[in-house]
Structure formats: C-alpha cells, structure tokens
Structure 1
Amino acid sequence: MAHFGACGASTGYIHPIVWSKCGTWRAGRRQWRQSRDRRAPGESNRSVAREGAIAVNGICTDKAGSTPAPSHAAARAVGIPAASRARSRRRARRVLAYALPGLWALAVLGWQCTTLGGLCFAPLLAATPVIACACTGRRPGVLLGGSYALLALVALAGAGLYETPRRWVGIEAAILIGVAASYFAAGRRARLKRELLRARRAAAAAQEALLRPLPPSVGELEVAASHLSATRGAALGGDLYDVAATPYGVRAVIGDVRGHGLAAVSTVATLLGVFREAAHDEAELAGVLHRLDRGLSRHLRERHPVGDELPDAAEEFATVLLLEVRDDGTALALNCGHPWPYRLRPGPAGSGMLRAQPAAEAEPMPPLGLFPLPAPLPRPTRLELPPGDALFLYTDGAEDARDAAGRYFPLARTLTRAGTGPGGVRAGAGADRAACGGPAALADSVRAGLLRHTRGRLSDDAAVLVLRNARAPASTAVAAPRQPVAGQAAGRRG
C-alpha cells in the first residue's frame, strides 16, 4: 500500500479526491497569505480573508454578477487561521481545566510545608476532586483530581508532618468520599447534557420546519433573513417571514404577532401555514390577505372559545405586510399595521454607503384580528424596486430595541453605514465586483448591531428580510460581439 501524507506529499498512488482537496487547501492558503501581504495599512485581517474568499472560491468572476457554487474545501481553507486560533483556545482551556486541581493540591502542599504554629491545611485536599468535577465535568477528570490529592497527602506523610495515623487516615477517607460523590455527580451531569443535546436537536428541527431557512435566491430576487427571539435559547418567537416563488410572481410576507417568545409560536404557525398555501392558490394579493384574515380568526376562536374570560382573548392580533414582485419588476404591497420597508440604493460612488428611505408613506390598514377587513380592499401600494435596489423589511422589534440607557436602536443609520450595498459592494473593494455575502451580509450586519446595542437582552422579537432585485440594469448590459456568418466569412476569404 502506498504511503502518502496529509496534503499529498507522497510516493505512489494518491486518490484524486484527496489530491484535489489538498491542492485547493494549498491554493487557498497561498491566496490568503498574498492578500495579507498586500493589504493596506489599517485594513483588518477579516476583510482580507473575505477578499481571499472571493478570489479562491471562484465567485464573482465577471461583472455581470454570476456566482457559481464555491468549493467547500476552498471555503474552509480561507478560514484556517481563525479556526486554528479557536482550536488552540479550546485546547488551552481544556488543559487548564485538568491542571487546576493539580495546582490546588500543590498550593495546599506548599501552605502546609511553609506554615508554622501547628495550623493544618491538609483537609483542604478533599476539595481537589470537587474542583476537578467543576472544571472538567468528566469522570476521568474526577479520578485525576483524586490522584492529585492522594499524592499530595503521601508527600506530606513522607515529610513527617503527620505523626498521628488517625489524622492521615481521616483525611484520606475524606478525599475518597469526595471522589465518589464527584464521580457520581459527573456521571449525572453527562447524562443530563446528552438529554439536553437531544432536546435541542429536536427543537431545532421543529423550529426549522416552522421558520424555514430561505434559499439565497428566489426567482430574480436575492433573499436573506435573520431573526432574534426575546426568549433565551429559542430560535423563533412572535415574528414570521417567508418567501415563495409562485405563478404570479415572488410573494413575501413578514409579520409580528402580539406578544413575543414561545407564547406566540402557535399563531405564527397558523399564519405561515395559511400563507404557504394561499400564495400559490390566489391569483390576487388581496385573496392571500383574506385567507390570512380568515385563518387567524379561526385560530383565535379555537384558542379562545366563547365564554373565555381571559383579558387577552380580545387583544390577539398580528401585523402583516404582503409583498408581490412580478416578473416585470413591479412590486405591490398590502399592509396591515406593519412598518413600511426601507428602499436601499447605492450611495455616492466610492463611499461604500447606502441611501435608505421608506419605500412608501401610505396609511396601512388595521392589524389582522382587531377589526374585519374593509369590504372593498384598497388597491395594493406600488413600490419601486428597480434592478440593483433592495427592500429591507423588518418588524418593530428591530427599530424599538433599546440599550441600557433607554436609547432606541438607530436602524436607518445602521443601514446607511452597513458598509455593504444592496449588491454587497464592499467599500474599497471596487464597484465592479460583488461581494459574496450580498443581502446576507446586510442582514448579518443589522443582527450584529442589534446584539451590540442591546447586549443580547432583547425585550421583543426582531426579524429582518432583505429582497434585492438581481436583474442586471439595462445600462450595464454589454452587447456580444457580432460573429460573421459562415457564408460571409468564406466570401471574404474568396
């Protein structure tokens, strides 16, 4: 059998998959180093790594914005430095966790050897297995901590500090009892951790089935979304969004159910289920809204039957914004008490900033569930979404989030200073090259800003949805060079 190294340095046969992966790894590493050496003063390593990802993955190879699928090996290669540092930190924490019980035993040993006056610190060795259990949480760590304590006790006895065997035996018994109790606690902790992981997997699967991850593009739109729940540990709450490609165009919904966290999940599930069916069945956007209203009313009747005296029974409602982007680029919207989206356009050339302005100023209809829909529904509001522009849809939790001092989150300013245009044009990277993030980078930027502003303590759920018209503007279309017809070419040669 031929022997070969991890990266293909070998003599003999190497499997083609291994060779391709190793070659891509080397190319990615070399590209990252070259980009790092060429970076401008003050430019961060993160931006350099992102530029390296653009070049190595083969994405954004032309000005038209075509984005072929990246190589997974190349994507991993660009993130090698950060991943290596993370692994080093985890390894250092693990080593420190196993070393702390030994350091404690050495400290007790030193105190006992240097203290005069008959003070006895040796019983503190019984805490060594307890410290090991708290630091490592593993049974091997507990046994190692008990070994540290017994070795320190043997060293004290060998030094002649304990002439009374009873005291020596008593301390040894305390250490063994501590080892037994910590061993049992570590095992129970491991079982509870496994049960928690299984519960989290099941919850994540249920959450993904309800609030499904959106594809990078739907029809001619580039799509990205992000969601933050006010309930710690939950991936969804009272906000909802979805995008569907239908025979009538791309339809999107974003909404906010009264309340937040897990208490509003059942209403969210009802609205999303109705939208996913009605978006494909109803030819008009008004029909989808009527279906949502009927579905919510039926859900509230089942949830609060007649005679329900709960004070919240008459206050259940949901704000909803329906959007339809047709094949010709026109966007129609029906709004029931929801904030209007922002229209995002590129700012001044070379600034890397955005122009954010409300996409509409019309008065919305009342939220669903409070009042019946008006008999003649108003005409859908027409929104401008030319090629290259984007619509930033959001819930009020993203705009009403406050910090510890009570200041609101500056959503509009965050959008203008996101450093990424609707097409993902990064400042300083050149307007002729689209970054690989696009709307996803913008959604992630707003999410990170919310977490920084609130320090992870949101009082309400927050959701954002970015829709970018990915059609190439007519002014940027480059005509293909005319090729001579075979007969004409033969005539010229003749």
Structure 2
Amino acid sequence: MTYVKPPQSWTVLSCMPVVVMAVVAVMDVVAGPGVGFLPLVSLGPAFSGLVGGWRRTALIGLVALVLCVGLGLYDGLFEDRRGFIAMASVAGVTGVGIAAAVMRSRREAELASVRSIAEVAQRVLLRPVPLTAGPLQAAVSYTSAVAEARIGGDLYEVVATPHGIRVIVGDVQGKGLAAVETAAVVLGAFREAAYDEPDLVGLGERLERSVARELEGEKFVTAILAEIGAHNEALFLNYGHPAPMVVRPDGAVDFPQPLVYALPLGLGAHGSEGPKPYRVDFAPGEQLLLYTDGVTEARDEDGRFYPVGERAHLLKDPDAHRALEALRADLAQHVGGPPHDDAAMLLLRYHGHGKGHGEGKAVPMG
C-alpha cells in the first residue's frame, strides 16, 4: 500500500485542538482568575470533533478536563461555582464533539461506499477500449468536470465486428445519475447492434429507436459513429456532434463535416431526416481523434476556446497513450483549473498496411 501524505491544511486542523488548549492555558495563567479564560479550554474538544475520530475527540476532551481542573485549582475557582461551570462546559462540548465525530465517520464511510459503487459502474459502463482493433491502435482519455467524480455522461466504445471496426463517441445531455443511465442505454444498444447491423445507417437507426424509447421530453444524446474497414477510409454518421479531427502524416489537419446536419439521438421523433453517411480517407500513418464538446468548448481565463486543431502536433509521440496524455495535459493547462464539462477523447491510429490516400474530402453516400 502506498502512503499518501495528508494535505497541509488537514495537518494544521489536526494540531489545532492542542494548540488552542495550550494558548488558553498560557493566557489563563498570565491573566489570572479575574479574566475568565478557563471555559475556552472546551475549544480543544470542539475542534477535535470537527477533524478527528471519536476516540481522539474523547482523549482531547479528557486532557481538556484535566487541564480545566488544574487551572481551576491554580486560580482558586473551585471556591465558588466558576470552576464547576467550566468543567461542565468542557464535558458538554466533548460529548457533542464525540457525537459529531461519530456522525461524520458514518457519512465518510457511506460516501466511500458510494464512490466504490460508482467506480465499479464506471468500469462496467465505460470498459477499457482495446489497445488494438484490427489495423488500429486505440487510446482514450476521460476527464470529469467534478474532481471527485468517477463517472459522467460522456461515452465511448470501440468494437471489432465482421463489418469493420465500429466506434461511437457521445455526450448525454445533463449530468448525474440520469445521464449515466442514458449513457448505459446507448452503449448497451451500440454494443449489441454493432455486431448485428450490416451497415452503419442501420446501426444508427437502431440506436435512435433505443434512445427514443428511454428518453422523455427534450432530452438527447449527441454522438458520432464511425466505421473503419479495409479500404483505407472511414465512414461516419454524425448526430449533432463535434466533427472528428483527422491528422495526416505531414501534420495537416482535417475536420470532415457532414454534408447534411442531423438532430442528436432522441430527437428523431421531431420529424427531422436522419444523418447521411459520408466517407473520409483514412490510411496507414494517419490518426483520427474523436472527442466531446468538453474539449472544444473548454475556455481559458480570457474566454478563448481550446484550439484542438492547433494542438495536433502534440500527438506525435510514437505511443498513442502518451500522445493523448500530452493533449489532455495541454487542455488542463489551457483551462487553468477544473473543467466546466466532462471531456472525453478517443484517439485511433491506423497502423495497417495499404496504398496511398487522397485529399481527405468527405464523400457522400448514395
């Protein structure tokens, strides 16, 4: 087990009870019995109840009580009721501190259990993508908008099927458990239909039906589907999602756009025509980056969006995972703090062998 050094602020708070009692004792001795500093000894167990366990709080309370008796005798406060009132104050605050520490420990245990369940759900929902799929090498990065979170509404998957390598990257509207539930529906439908549907349009239509059954009102999922076969090209279906980025061997960057824009998944009932598939040259030596709008809409302190196209040179590392990590670190530096939205990135590198490629223009399907 690796030892994790506690934060400096937590260490200061842990020492606070002892420091407070020591300061009160010195002030009481210096000022004498007439000032009435003695009841402030109860601050020791009060602080301990906020940051320590119940045993530590009880120990601090016992030390405070002994200190109270000693100072009371030194000041002669037990000749009247002031000494006993100070002792009652320390005992009462200690009891409340112990109760607070017990309740806090229970809440922390419940939170740890919930986080553990969330991590398991994350592993089930967003399984690690395969390191290689056919001629492709894959790497993925997921950054949650909440530092403590392990799960969110962005989704991705790479599946090797008899029809080619099929990929999805999507972004569920909203956050929280409702978004996670919707993401699970989309991924479940994709994983099943990716093997069954012989063409990408049929796969998209099946996803649309699955999402429409589950979503209510104006909820939706933006998504992009991709299919990489054996013909040095990628086929896309775009449901209102940011365009993919194709990086050529010479560093040139393309953002192939659909010829006709379509509504996101879940809004097909509004009568809009579904997306039209389009092809893009994708050959050995090239890279394909799919991402959610948490990347392109990330702003710096001056309000400038993240220029992902200008950062394509960061993907030059021979190792796909290190290359994507460099891009993720640059995105975090651009934002200069916690992201305002989940950000998922999926990098695909074509390492197969094939003939040359064209100019990377989108080719409509008939």
Scaled by the length of structure 2, the TM-score of the pair is 0.83
Please give the alpha-carbon distance, in whole angstroms, between the structure 2 residues aligned to 1:117 and 1:168.
10
Measured after TM superposition, the shift of residue 176 of structure 1 is: 1.3
**What is the match of residue 167 of structure 1?**
82
Secondary structure of 1:192's counterpart equals helix
Secondary structure of 2:303's counterpart equals coil
Is 1:118 the counterpart of 2:34 in the alignment?
A: yes
Q: 1:261 to 1:356 in 2, by over 3 A?
A: farther
**What is the match of residue 462 of structure 1?**
343
Secondary structure of 1:203's counterpart equals helix
**What is the match of residue 272 of structure 1?**
187
Alignment equivalent of 1:330, drawn from 221, 233, 237: 233
Deviations 1:247-305 (Å, cap 9, x if unpaired)?
A: 122110112334444443343232222211111012222221221222233334xx3xx
**What is the match of residue 10 of structure 1?**
none
Ranges in structure 2 where 5+ consecutive residues have no aligned partner:
356-366
Alignment equivalent of 2:208, drawn from 275, 278, 293: 293
After the TM superposition, which of the residue ranges 460-469 and 110-119 deviates more from structure 2? 110-119
Please give the alpha-carbon distance, in whole angstroms, between the structure 1 residues aligned to 2:328 and 2:139.
12
Secondary structure of 2:115's counterpart equals helix
Alignment equivalent of 2:55, drawn from 134, 140, 161: 140
Scaled by the length of structure 1, the TM-score of the pair is 0.63
The share of aligned pairs that are identical, in percent, is 34
Please give the alpha-carbon distance, in whole angstroms, between the structure 2 residues aligned to 1:157 and 1:116.
10
Measured after TM superposition, the shift of residue 188 of structure 1 is: 1.5
Measured after TM superposition, the shift of residue 129 of structure 1 is: 0.5
RCO comparison, higher one (Cα < 8 Å, 6+): 2
**What is the match of residue 363 of structure 2?**
none
- Residue 124 of structure 1 aligns with an amino acid whose one-letter code is L
Is 1:284 the counterpart of 2:169 in the alignment?
A: no
Is 1:196 the counterpart of 2:77 in the alignment?
A: no
**What is the match of residue 321 of structure 2?**
440
Please give the alpha-carbon distance, in whole angstroms, between the structure 2 residues aligned to 1:163 and 1:373.
86
- Residue 107 of structure 1 aligns with an amino acid whose one-letter code is V
Q: Are the aligned partners of 1:227 and 1:236 in contact in 2 as well (CA < 8 Å)?
A: no
Measured after TM superposition, the shift of residue 106 of structure 1 is: 0.8
**What is the match of residue 256 of structure 2?**
360
Measured after TM superposition, the shift of residue 123 of structure 1 is: 0.8
Q: How does 1:89-100 map to 2 (within 5 A)?
A: 89-90=5-6, 96-100=12-16
Output the aligned Cα RMSD.
3.2
Please give the alpha-carbon distance, in whole angstroms, between the structure 2 residues aligned to 1:249 and 1:205.
30
Please give the alpha-carbon distance, in whole angstroms, between the structure 2 residues aligned to 1:472 and 1:129.
71
Please give the alpha-carbon distance, in whole angstroms, between the structure 1 residues aligned to 2:136 and 2:199.
20
Q: Are the aligned partners of 1:230 and 1:260 in contact in 2 as well (CA < 8 Å)?
A: no
Please give the alpha-carbon distance, in whole angstroms, between the structure 1 residues aligned to 2:219 and 2:151.
18
**What is the match of residue 411 of structure 1?**
308
Please give the alpha-carbon distance, in whole angstroms, between the structure 1 residues aligned to 2:6 and 2:198.
55
Deviations 1:59-98 (Å, cap 9, x if unpaired)?
A: xxxxxxxxxxxxxxxxx9xxxxxx6xx64x3397776554
Please give the alpha-carbon distance, in whole angstroms, between the structure 2 residues aligned to 1:108 and 1:204.
46
Question: How many aligned residue pairs are there?
Answer: 352
**What is the match of residue 362 of structure 2?**
none
Q: 1:263 to 1:442 in 2, by over 3 A?
A: farther
Q: How does 1:5-44 map to 2 (within 5 A)?
A: none
- Residue 468 of structure 1 aligns with an amino acid whose one-letter code is R
Ranges in structure 1 where 5+ consecutive residues have no aligned partner:
1-75, 77-82, 304-312, 348-354, 426-433, 475-494
Secondary structure of 2:283's counterpart equals coil
Please give the alpha-carbon distance, in whole angstroms, between the structure 1 residues aligned to 2:8 and 2:180.
41
Measured after TM superposition, the shift of residue 405 of structure 1 is: 4.0
- Residue 190 of structure 1 aligns with an amino acid whose one-letter code is S
- Residue 338 of structure 2 aligns with an amino acid whose one-letter code is G
Please give the alpha-carbon distance, in whole angstroms, between the structure 1 residues aligned to 2:150 and 2:78.
62
Deviations 1:410-454 (Å, cap 9, x if unpaired)?
A: 3233443x3x51xxx2xxxxxxxx4xxx33334334444444406
